[in-house]
Amino acid sequence: MHSCFHPSLQIGVQSLSEDEAVHVSRVLRMKAGDDVRLINGMGSSAVGQLLEVGKRKASVSVESLDIHEAERPKGLMLVVAPTKSNDRFEWLLEKATELGVESIWPVWTSRSERRIDKHERWEKVLVAATKQSQRLWKPSLQKAVELSVFLGHAEALGQGHGAVAHCIPEMQGLPERVDWKQWQIDKGQAWLAIGPEGDFTLDEVGQMVAVGAQPVHLGEHRLRTETAGMAAVAQFVT
């Protein structure tokens, strides 16, 4: 059954967004009386009946909600510098959603070359991937902020577990990197920061270490930003 995204889902008559109404009416050619599934991306779902189906609007009657707290995705927060190529960043958003990530925190770093927060477009990628993978929880997407702003919140996040992946060879007194796959094993929640093309600066790694982050590596080879992000999510154990 097709799932429609409806962020404010509740019991009663629900109006679909224009995107969803167009999909239901023109792509799926559904009619009044057909059953349709609604999800709110925060663990609630419902099977409702289409009441009206127009070209650009549709409504659904919802009589009960199912709450799926247990399916909440594993508690990894990905703190990531958007790549120069928006395509590559959107790939990461899609794959991280399919594989199960709790939230995405885009951050600007000193080597970030592209500083455009495409929040609404990125949100659409997350919604599409959530529906495609039949998940009930959509990762939450934060507004893009300077790394220093994120660091102001960092100690309260991930139950105090944070990590920073980088490839700087000379650590100049900062802690050595450990293997992410090993480090994450006993962490129920954690945040992981992934740098931009050109990596974090030593100073930025130092700032993250100062708020308690563990430097980590994702293997011996250089990975692109989006590859590092996806691999880290795939390797994070619930």
What number of other Cβ atoms are within 10 A of residue 155's Cβ?
13
The distance from CA 101 to its chain's CA centroid, rounded to whole angstroms, is: 5
Q: Write out the two tokens for 214.
A: 């563990």
- By beta-carbon proximity to a copy of itself, the closer residue of 52 and 98 is 98
- By beta-carbon proximity to a copy of itself, the closer residue of 51 and 223 is 223
Q: How far is the CB of 89 from a copy of itself (least distance, A)?
A: 13
- By beta-carbon proximity to a copy of itself, the closer residue of 42 and 223 is 223
List all residues 6 or more positions away from 117 whose beta carbon is below 8 Å from its beta carbon.
106, 143, 144
| Closest by CA position to 102, among listed 74, 82, 79, 128 | 74
Contact 43, 68 (CB under 8 A): yes
Which stretches of the chain bind a copy of itself, using CB under 8 A? Answer: 71, 91, 95, 98-100, 132-135, 181, 219-224, 227, 230-231, 234-235, 237
Q: Write out the two tokens for 217.
A: 């590596």
- By beta-carbon proximity to a copy of itself, the closer residue of 142 and 227 is 227
Q: How far is the CB of 169 from a copy of itself (least distance, A)?
A: 13
Q: How far is the CB of 134 from a copy of itself (least distance, A)?
A: 5
Q: How far is the CB of 17 from a copy of itself (least distance, A)?
A: 23
